[in-house]
């Protein structure tokens, strides 16, 4: 093998290793990241209590004071 072929082989192997490490790292990060919650977050307009309810509910009753509240939009 000539010198340019050795350098090219070295660079290709090195870049392949870096790409493989990046792909494995991304796969691990996705596997251990918490899933997004399915619940909606509500804050009571009357007493300020923060609570969650199902995702399909638009308005929810506060468990502390009974006031109906809209979901918080971030």
Cα separation of 13 and 8, whole Å?
Answer: 9
- Model confidence band, residue 3 (pLDDT cutoffs 50, 70, 90): very high
8-state DSSP, 71: B
pTM for this entry: 0.49
pLDDT in tens, 46-68: 899 999 888 888 899 998 898 89
Decide if pLDDT at 37 tops 70: no
Decide if pLDDT at 70 tops 80: yes
């Amino acid at each position: 093998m000539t010198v340019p072929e050795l350098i090219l082989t070295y660079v290709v192997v090195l870049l392949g290793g870096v790409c493989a490490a990046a792909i494995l790292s991304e796969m691990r990060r996705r596997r251990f990241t918490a899933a997004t919650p399915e619940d909606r977050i509500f804050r009571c307009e009357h007493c300020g209590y923060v609570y969650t309810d199902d995702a399909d509910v638009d308005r929810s009753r506060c468990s502390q004071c009974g006031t109906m509240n809209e979901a918080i939009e971030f």
